[in-house]
């Protein structure tokens, strides 16, 4: 079940806000105080207290969840910089740093060491770079991003822009009129006086002394002495200015709100407005010489000039997705990045722009897999996407509606039903090749649906409306829940007769006769419940607001509150058996249990996007979906792919034979590190071509295991190579499908 997310792009910074579908009110009724209830609660609480400090762990290794949409990843990207045609970095939401060494054909994630949003990145050569972000975040690399080291900024302000003229001299700007300066590569950062309290969004230095800063209210500041003094320049506009670039001390361009473009040829003494031809906000600009430049912005806007801005020509980006940053290294080669992780590339000056694959950026609310390969996700604006190969490829389908779809249920690879806004129900019997509208008999929003076979299904709505079909949706019959004050948000049936529905104010309803009668159960909470999953008639779990997790082992006669270890809202839950389950929620939250909920482990999802739905077909294979078209996949239950299994110091460096071998499609590789070391573990095909980087970070001494999923690769011989400081080894493995 999904709540909407609004995206505010005003001045280049964003806020996600959950819409509460129902207000939490006090639950009336008595608490079950039976001996069975007390005994079960006492046992579970004792175990939970004993495991409290083990219940929630978070790793910063390569996560066991990987992106399937958007690609290469779906966190918003706010800044990109290339230092040559092939080598570049992009940074963004949730501490995201990506690197490419082949012109953007492939992007590899780097470990930033922070979950804060990163807003700007600047490299002075292939090795030395600095990135800045929210809450005073400054990180530095001297080895191309293999390692990023935090620096002390002495501020908690948001930092939006950074510019280095050389490896030592740099300036960062941000909220509250903040300007920070370093002359020793960030060992020390000094606060400079801007005289302002507004947001400053971008900075550009053409040499160690000469720089320009832009921000809100048409602000332009200029220094010629490394920021000892900052002078106000008259911009002639009150529009917010988002981006600035200079090719030398005199020639510069500024872009901003409402299509604003300003140009100077005398170091900012005079700024001249130029005609952009658009009213869209422009966020970034890149010039490679005094004449040739490109600016990007809202709604996929790309503009190009070859005469210093006398004329700006609109280019076809092929998307309406907003771009937040652009970088050109010469007149032909450039890259733009932005919303939902979009990356586009040109090698001919923008005559054509090529995008990485994005199936959708619509919020996805529900997902259902019938086996490890066949799955369907649904979302806003009637979006339906389908995979038949475990998410290696997702294909858009025509739903026949523009109404938002909130939930989907398939009983086999072909037969499924999706429900949504204003009573919408659509049905397929051929795997989504065709979706046909059905008559629900209600205009209420339908939040969740569950089918136990091709004919028998239940859907839950707002108020006291529950819909039932026994003929595959040819007819839907309205049932009355008897609870008119709560919205029902989740439902799950284990057979045609036995099911549970959950909703606002801690509502839990149960039926054992296919919904002819529904009776209330005592949840023990007034928190909203958003999702529910049962593995049989007795064992079930419900999740909801503020990290609420409830568990029953007797069909809901008693529900016990479990310690989730989070206060994030939980929207979806999926159990494949009595012990293995996963819950997902706000801010990219993924929780995992392997002991029936006695303890929950916080897994690294790799995103801060909202996750609304999750579907597992077995203990290992699962898919989560969420905001901005997010589709995440795991093939090992979400366990980190780089997992330290022992911190005892080994006698030496070792690379072990993978197990199993041959394998299909997942194998485990173990290695030992005698001392802390920069570590790479790379997979090569039979031709010696690098196809996957499993480890690329500094690891402490100890023993490690890494999982590799070869599902995207053909059968054959592969090699894996471990490289550390002073040690290297290669071994062979065989993938057989």
| Cα dihedral 322→76→566→64 (10° resolution) | 130
* Architecture field, domain 76-355: 7 Propeller (2.130)
Report how far residue 469's alpha carbon sits from residue 101's, in angstroms, rounded to the nearest whole number.
55
Q: How many CA atoms lie within 13 A of 86 on its CB side?
A: 3
Considering the chain, what is the average pLDDT of its residues?
Answer: 90
616 pLDDT above the threshold of 80: yes
State the DSSP H helix or E strand holding residue 50, giving kind and residue range, or none if neither: helix 35-50
Residues whose CB falls within 8 Å of the CB of residue 491, separated by 6 or more in sequence, listed in order:
448, 449, 450, 458, 459, 460, 499, 500, 501, 502, 532
Tell how far CA 534 is from the center of its chain: 28
Q: Name which residue leads in pLDDT, 472 or 642.
A: 472
Report how far residue 67's alpha carbon sits from residue 82's, in angstroms, rounded to the nearest whole number.
24
Tell how far CA 93 is from the center of its chain: 8
Longest pairwise C-alpha distance within the chain: 84
732 pLDDT above the threshold of 50: yes
62 pLDDT above the threshold of 60: no
DSSP state of 627: G
State the DSSP H helix or E strand holding residue 718, giving kind and residue range, or none if neither: strand 716-724
Extended beta strands in 33-125, E state: 66-69, 77-82, 88-92, 97-100, 108-110, 118-123
pLDDT digits (tens, 9 = 90+) for 533-581: 999 999 999 999 999 999 999 999 999 999 998 999 999 999 999 999 9
Report how far residue 253's alpha carbon sits from residue 285's, in angstroms, rounded to the nearest whole number.
8
Is residue 266 very low, low, confident or very high in pLDDT (cuts 50, 70, 90)?
Answer: very high
Percent of the chain with pLDDT over 70: 91
DSSP state of 18: B
pLDDT digits (tens, 9 = 90+) for 664-697: 877 889 999 999 999 999 999 999 988 777 887 8
395 pLDDT above the threshold of 60: yes
State yes or no: cis peptide before 467, omega within 30 of 0: no
The pLDDT value given to residue 329: 97
For the 364-634 domain, the top CATH level (class) is: mainly beta
Which letter, b or e, does each residue of 280-297 get, where b requires 16 or more Cβ atoms within 10 Å of its Cβ? bbbbbbbbbebebbbbbb
- Could you tell me if 488 and 467 are in contact, meaning their C-beta atoms sit under 8 angstroms apart? no
28 pLDDT above the threshold of 90: no
Report how far residue 478's alpha carbon sits from residue 458's, in angstroms, rounded to the nearest whole number.
10
3-state class of 364 per DSSP?
strand
DSSP state of 42: H
> Which has the minimum average pLDDT: 136-150, 151-165, 288-302, 692-706?
692-706
pLDDT digits (tens, 9 = 90+) for 473-521: 999 999 987 776 679 999 999 999 999 999 999 999 999 999 999 999 9
Mean pLDDT of 65-82: 95
Report how far residue 370's alpha carbon sits from residue 411's, in angstroms, rounded to the nearest whole number.
7
76-355 and 364-634 agree in CATH topology: yes
Enumerate long-range contacts of 94-99, CB under 8 Å, 24 or more apart.
94/588, 94/606, 94/607, 94/608, 95/133, 96/341, 97/121, 97/131, 97/145, 97/148, 98/72, 98/73, 99/144, 99/145
Report how far residue 490's alpha carbon sits from residue 127's, in angstroms, rounded to the nearest whole number.
51
The pLDDT value given to residue 484: 65
The pLDDT value given to residue 442: 94
> Which has the minimum average pLDDT: 16-30, 95-109, 530-544, 625-639?
16-30
Percent of the chain with pLDDT over 90: 81
- If phi > 0 it is left, if psi is from -120 to 50 it is alpha, else beta; for residue 481 that is alpha
Report how far residue 686's alpha carbon sits from residue 672's, in angstroms, rounded to the nearest whole number.
25
> Which has the minimum average pLDDT: 249-258, 282-291, 639-648?
639-648
Q: Name which residue leads in pLDDT, 666 or 656.
A: 656
The pLDDT value given to residue 298: 98
Report how far residue 148's alpha carbon sits from residue 155's, in angstroms, rounded to the nearest whole number.
19
Q: Do you know the residue count of the chain?
A: 737
Mean pLDDT of 205-226: 97
pLDDT digits (tens, 9 = 90+) for 307-351: 999 999 999 999 999 999 999 999 999 999 999 999 999 999 999
530 pLDDT above the threshold of 80: yes
Which residues make beta-bridge pairs with 139? Answer: 131, 150
Report how far residue 203's alpha carbon sits from residue 195's, in angstroms, rounded to the nearest whole number.
16
111 pLDDT above the threshold of 50: yes
The pLDDT value given to residue 99: 94
Mean pLDDT of 654-667: 91
pLDDT digits (tens, 9 = 90+) for 350-393: 999 999 888 999 999 999 999 999 999 999 999 999 999 999 99
The pLDDT value given to residue 709: 75
Instruction: Tell me the whole-structure pTM to 2 decimals.
Output: 0.81
Mean pLDDT of 430-448: 97
Q: For 642-735, which CATH superfamily applies?
A: Macroglobulin (MG2) domain (2.60.40.1930)
What sign does the CA torsion over 556, 562, 564, 568 have? Answer: positive
Domain locations in the chain as residue ranges: 76-355, 364-634, 642-735
Report how far residue 104's alpha carbon sits from residue 85's, in angstroms, rounded to the nearest whole number.
9
């Amino acid at each position: 079940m999904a709540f909407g997310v609004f995206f505010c792009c005003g001045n280049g910074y964003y806020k996600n806000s959950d819409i509460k579908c129902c207000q939490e009110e006090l639950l009336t009724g008595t608490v079950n105080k039976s001996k069975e209830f007390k005994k079960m609660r006492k046992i579970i609480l004792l175990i939970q207290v004993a495991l409290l400090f083990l219940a929630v762990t978070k790793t910063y290794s390569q996560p066991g969840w990987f992106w399937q949409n958007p690609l290469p990843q779906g966190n918003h990207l706010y800044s990109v910089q290339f230092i040559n045609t092939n080598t570049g970095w992009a940074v963004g939401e949730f501490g995201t740093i990506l690197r490419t060494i082949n012109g953007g054909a492939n992007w590899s994630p780097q470990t930033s060491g922070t979950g804060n949003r990163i807003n700007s990145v600047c490299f002075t050569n292939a090795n030395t770079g600095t990135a800045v972000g929210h809450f005073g975040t400054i990180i530095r690399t001297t080895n191309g991003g293999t390692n990023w080291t935090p620096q002390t900024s002495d501020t908690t302000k948001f930092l939006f822009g950074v510019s280095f003229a050389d490896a030592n001299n740099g300036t960062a700007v941000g909220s509250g009129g903040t300007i920070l300066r370093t002359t020793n590569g960030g060992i020390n950062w000094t606060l400079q006086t801007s005289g302002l309290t507004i947001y400053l969004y971008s900075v550009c230095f053409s040499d160690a002394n000469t720089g320009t800063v832009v921000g809100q209210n048409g602000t332009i500041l200029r220094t010629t002495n490394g920021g000892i003094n900052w002078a106000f320049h008259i911009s002639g506009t009150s529009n917010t200015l988002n981006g600035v670039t200079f090719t030398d001390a005199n020639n510069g361009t500024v872009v901003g709100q409402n299509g604003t473009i300003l140009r100077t040829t005398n170091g900012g003494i005079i700024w001249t407005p130029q005609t952009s031809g658009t009213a869209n906000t422009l966020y970034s600009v890149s010039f490679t010489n005094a004449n040739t430049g490109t600016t990007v912005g809202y709604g996929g806007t790309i503009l190009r000039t070859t005469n210093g801005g006398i004329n700006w020509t609109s280019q076809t980006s092929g998307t309406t997705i907003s771009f937040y940053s652009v970088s050109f290294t010469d007149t032909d080669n450039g890259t733009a990045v932005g919303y939902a992780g979009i990356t586009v590339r040109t090698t001919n000056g923008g005559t054509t722009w090529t995008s990485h694959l994005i199936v959708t950026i619509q919020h996805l609310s529900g997902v259902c897999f019938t086996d490890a390969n066949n799955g369907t996700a649904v979302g806003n604006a009637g979006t339906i996407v389908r995979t038949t190969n475990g998410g290696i490829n997702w294909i858009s389908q025509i739903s026949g509606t523009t109404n938002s779809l909130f939930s989907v249920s398939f009983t086999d690879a072909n037969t499924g039903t999706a429900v949504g806004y204003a009573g919408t129900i659509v049905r397929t019997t051929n795997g989504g090749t065709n979706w046909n509208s059905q008559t629900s008999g209600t205009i209420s929003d339908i939040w969740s649906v569950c089918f136990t076979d091709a004919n028998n299904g239940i859907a839950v709505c707002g108020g006291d409306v529950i819909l039932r079909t026994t003929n595959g949706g040819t007819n839907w019959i309205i049932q009355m829940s008897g609870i008119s004050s709560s919205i029902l948000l989740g439902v799950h049936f284990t057979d045609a007769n036995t099911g549970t529905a959950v909703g606002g104010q801690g509502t839990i309803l149960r039926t054992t006769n296919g919904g002819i009668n529904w009776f209330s159960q005592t949840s023990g909470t007034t928190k909203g419940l958003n999702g529910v999953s049962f593995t049989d008639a007795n064992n079930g779990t419900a999740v909801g607001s503020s990290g609420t997790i409830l568990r029953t082992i007797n069909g809901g006669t008693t529900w016990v509150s479990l310690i989730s270890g989070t206060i994030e809202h939980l929207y979806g839950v999926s159990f494949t058996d009595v012990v293995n389950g996963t819950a997902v929620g706000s801010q990219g939250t993924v929780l995992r249990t392997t002991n029936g909920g006695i303890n929950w482990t916080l897994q690294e999802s790799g995103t801060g996007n909202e996750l609304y739905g999750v579907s597992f077909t077995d203990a290992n294979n699962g898919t989560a979906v969420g905001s901005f078209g997010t589709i995440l996949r795991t093939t090992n239950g979400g366990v980190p792919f780089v997992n330290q299994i022992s911190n005892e110091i080994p006698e030496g460096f070792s690379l072990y034979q993978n197990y199993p071998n041959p394998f299909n499609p997942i194998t485990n590789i173990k290695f030992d590190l005698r001392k802390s070391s920069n570590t790479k573990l790379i997979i090569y095909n039979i031709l010696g071509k690098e196809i996957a980087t499993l480890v690329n970070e500094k690891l402490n001494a100890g023993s490690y295991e890494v999982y590799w999923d070869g599902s995207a690769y053909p059968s054959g011989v592969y090699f894996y190579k471990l490289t550390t400081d002073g040690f290297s080894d290669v071994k062979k493995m065989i993938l057989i499908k």
